[in-house]
Structure 1
């Protein structure tokens, strides 16, 4: 594949800003969607010498995106899952490198605290994986949890552990930084289904043609491909709340409190310490109502806020009366069981569907992008069966947390 050539200055123009390379007549790859999967795919393709165009209907890290907004958890614990734990470990290193090169941090290494009933099998498998792979962590019994984090109410019979080198990512800033790190920009363009012309390339938009297409448009995937993905990728409404601690109360900020995850009976509640002045974050992981990402209401519900306050009163009583300083409504893009989608569009050898982040995908952007770029540049690479279109059912039976 042909990369964009570097540009030099014209004679006598030494004082002028460097000119951007001319766009190729036909790009090697067009990535449709500038969310985390799309920008990291573009990053890997560009680093390997491909010419890449990135388009998004609303822009990079926009307010309606699943990859927009403030913070996301980056953790390695997946109940010992043989795919997602290694992918998260690979991705953590890549995020750290891009964060170190930026003007503002993307990665905050607060640690990630997990707590659950001591008999929980998922948690035990997670700890076993961390130990077997020599990932730094610290186990704690109930007494240890209460001593280390007195601002949290732990219940009798619970235990936990801390991934000491994990933490949080700043989402909207992160996707913009990755694209800039690749030397790319995104065009504001709403792309439809693929339409190849007589020359075997795809027309994406005015003056934009490419040999390969990657549709990484998150919750918009089933809108672009309703016959293929309708019911297989389902956007659900998810509310996120940020509460403000009292002035001078540092108990709910790092390093006094890490990112945390309460895993009880298969239901996950998670949150962040106050990062960058955004307040203490809390979110409920179970799927909300099915929505349209273009038109759903972005106002939080009274019921959701009441649930958040009730949880604070039980687990973080020091914040029971804290003011809500801001909140956000976004969406998950769920596959039937939580596995990602990375497969060819039926009938098109050079068109790929990439998505199904299912609420846990943001952290995996670097590893997903590397896999996707490899598929395009090395077409014989087999599709991971768990990421295949064939395994995406229409009945929700969530298995990935």
Structure 2
């Protein structure tokens, strides 16, 4: 079967990986480089965690996600995952961190409870007077997304995939499974998968009733010199508590110390607009992290990156078949951790044509 995949973020790459393993003829079209720094799955590292708040279906699916990553590491010959653990910090009753902990309880996942003084002794960047408790899940940590994309691209090339970078898809014929690119060249296939992330609505504007495009920023910070060792040994932080939806990825294995916050996201109908961070965006983001971090004014912003990604109203993944085309949006702010599993599930659905089963899995509705 000839399959064209539009978009080489983690969903597109993983779909190409899975289909290539099954012997299919793959064409992968990406408008930028691989990795693409503007894509939702760009950036240095991403979190994988078992804590999922009220979304128990996704928490249940994490086991499949980890197994799928292990299969990818076997093929690549190297693991791009650091199981550094995941910390939650609750500042007030019912905040995001407490909801994540309640989800761990419902799933009967084990974790370690930490009183504020104990947590600050272990992680001295914390202010023990600013939060109620912390908890540490020893499973989970960081996926090194840029390294994953580079190695998957090399693996696919060795398997004979036709990879076309810096190639913009201008139009799609979903029933013919064909796309038109620059110079009016038409690429034809038996099946088409569109995993274009924030650019999906440019190809399928009618899906605006299902998908919304958002812009957000992350900041890489340099901590005070006396806290560098503490941060290097820190876990990922799923939620800092309070109202910011703040999260952190530690400076592990050469990565930077990354701060992000869900409260920062804004609607962005044009994913190419405002992709250069405005002055002060990094400092505004930094200030959201006090509390629970002490001495936040001593941190300096080294880099600010923007990202654009799609959301559904219920923050679940989305798929829709149109003729011989499958349109996928596995994002809603938490898609990367499932990337390898998403690719395997899409490959399976293309062979079985069981789109309903795929949709239920993507929405985490399966038992």
TM-score bracket for this pair, using the shorter chain length: 0.7 to 0.9
Q: Quote the residue 1:177 is aligned against.
A: 151
1:115-154 pair list within 5 angstroms: 115-117=89-91, 119-120=93-94, 122-131=99-108, 135=109, 137-154=111-128
Q: Quote the residue 1:219 is aligned against.
A: 198
Q: Quote the residue 2:256 is aligned against.
A: 279
CA distance in 2 between partners of 1:307 and 1:296 (Å): 20
Alpha carbons of 1:249 and 1:143: their partners in 2 closer, same or farther (altered >3 Å)? closer
Structure 1 residue ranges without an equivalent (≥5): 2-26, 389-401
Write the deviation string for residues 350-379 of structure 1: whole angstroms up to 9, x where unpaired.
211101501111111012112211211101
Structure 2 residue ranges without an equivalent (≥5): none
1:238-249 pair list within 5 angstroms: 238-247=216-225, 249=227
TM score, norm. by length of structure 1: 0.78
Instruction: Confirm or deny that 1:83 pairs with 2:57.
Output: yes
1:89-104 pair list within 5 angstroms: 89-99=63-73, 102=76
8 Å Cα contact 1:333/1:358 also seen in 2: yes
Q: Quote the residue 2:326 is aligned against.
A: 352
2:349 to 368, 375, 380: 375
Q: Quote the residue 2:178 is aligned against.
A: 202
1:39 counterpart SS class: helix
Instruction: Confirm or deny that 1:233 pairs with 2:211.
Output: yes
Displacement, 1:212? 0.5
Write the deviation string for residues 170-219 of structure 1: whole angstroms up to 9, x where unpaired.
2222123234334345213222443379xx55355537321101110000
Deviates more, 1:360-369 or 1:277-286: 277-286
8 Å Cα contact 2:315/2:332 also seen in 1: yes
Alignment size in residue pairs: 353
Alpha carbons of 1:246 and 1:160: their partners in 2 closer, same or farther (altered >3 Å)? closer
Q: List 4+ stretches of structure 1 deviating above 6 A.
A: none
CA distance in 2 between partners of 1:248 and 1:142 (Å): 20
TM score, norm. by length of structure 2: 0.85
Q: Quote the residue 2:136 is aligned against.
A: 162
Instruction: Confirm or deny that 1:111 pairs with 2:85.
Output: yes
Displacement, 1:125? 2.8
1:297-308 pair list within 5 angstroms: 297-308=274-285
Write the deviation string for residues 64-117 of structure 1: whole angstroms up to 9, x where unpaired.
111112111111111263421133222223334534665775212211101225
Instruction: Confirm or deny that 1:339 pairs with 2:313.
Output: no
8 Å Cα contact 1:193/1:225 also seen in 2: no
- RMSD over aligned Cα, in angstroms? 2.9
Q: Quote the residue 2:231 is aligned against.
A: 253
CA distance in 2 between partners of 1:322 and 1:74 (Å): 25
Which structure's relative contact order is higher, taking Cα pairs within 8 Å and 6+ residues apart? 2
1:352 counterpart SS class: strand
Instruction: Flag the structure with larger Rg.
Output: 1
Write the deviation string for residues 311-333 of structure 1: whole angstroms up to 9, x where unpaired.
34433224422221111111232
CA distance in 2 between partners of 1:294 and 1:187 (Å): 21
